[in-house]
Structure 1
Amino acid sequence: MEKKITFRIATEQDLDKIVKMLADDTLGSKRERYEQPLPESYLKAFQAITSDPNNELVVACQDNEVIGVLQITFTPYITHQGRWRATIEGVRTSSSERGKGVGTELIRWAIQRARERDCHLVQLTTDKKRNDALRFYEQLGFKATHEGMKMKL
């Protein structure tokens, strides 16, 4: 029998596992620093996220073990008649759980959460080098309708 996945707001005790998941892939290993103790920057970011009512760091759990994570940010816009939108970032599943549907359930949960917050749009970005992720998001109904641009500071 397949185990049920539950979702909850992350706690500070989850931070180690979250950073480990973020660092556990080809691109993440180049930009994250998973070490003990964790760099202070992760705790500061966690505190900023949890103190903002328009940010949620969410973990997917199976038998109380964290197996996935994402951040969802709710933003009001003047465009689209002042409607809100949700932005999904930092989506990862444990390497041992990849390909088992955890990511699909996590994104579907986030879409439902955006509906609950009365968002008219859910958006996300993914690195163009992540071909599997691009296909994954397209299969869930996301469309590449805009060209995203970034500037590192």
Structure 2
Amino acid sequence: MTHGGPGASAVTRARHKVAPMSDIEIRRATEADLPAIVAMLADDPLGAGRESPDDMTPYRAAFATVAADPHQHLIVAVRDGRTIGTLQLTVIPGISRRGATRSIIEAVRIHADERGSGLGTQLIEWAIAESRSLGCLLVQLTSDATRVDAHRFYERLGFEASHLGFKLQL
């Protein structure tokens, strides 16, 4: 199994299968993955109220923006041609923390049939490794306050609750 070496690009590494689930390919999403990604985003109580899987128009426009930005890494996990997981990794250069670059993990979703399989752990571990390879000194993520099970999951992976988040709908 190839992971790409230290000099390999993020895209090269993302195309290769990653242990421990050798039948899973983690790669950059394509526009063809959008229906599966949006279906996973909509498949929970929070997403059901804010996603619109029947109208892919806004998702296609957003995908074009994400795909054009080198700091955005929209990733899918695929098994046997079926998209079963996704996340978005955003790399943010910064001034604080002595000019540290950080990454943010967002929109982690696992297909309902795959939950509990270890795929979520594999995706987060991929994001952490990718963040390191891109020179990030910090990995952040947010999780809705109601997702208590997700909070336990992230804590098991070494994340610490450290901030109180705020949002303003525009």
Query: Between Structure 1 and Structure 2, how many residues are aligned?
Result: 150
Compute the TM-score of the two structures, normalised by the length of structure 1: 0.95
Compute the TM-score of the two structures, normalised by the length of structure 2: 0.85
Per-residue CA deviations over 1:53-92 (Å, capped at 9, x if unaligned) read: 0001000111221100000000011001111000000000
Identity between Structure 1 and Structure 2 (%): 49
Structure 2: gaps of 5 or more residues: 1-20
1:151 aligns with 2:151: no
Per-residue CA deviations over 1:122-150 (Å, capped at 9, x if unaligned) read: 00000000111111111111101111111
Alignment partner of 1:131 out of 145, 148, 152:
148
Q: Which has the higher contact order (CA 8 A, sep 6+)?
A: 1
Q: Counterpart of 1:96? A: 113
1:106 aligns with 2:106: no
Per-residue CA deviations over 1:69-124 (Å, capped at 9, x if unaligned) read: 00000001100111100000000000110111111100000000000101000000
Q: Counterpart of 1:120? A: 137
1:3 Cα offset (Å): 5.6
Alignment partner of 1:18 out of 2, 13, 37:
37
Structure 1: gaps of 5 or more residues: none
1:69 aligns with 2:77: no
Describe the SS at the equivalent of 1:27.
helix
1:85 aligns with 2:85: no
Q: Counterpart of 2:65? A: 48
Instruction: Specify the code of the residue in structure 2 equivalent to 1:138.
Output: E
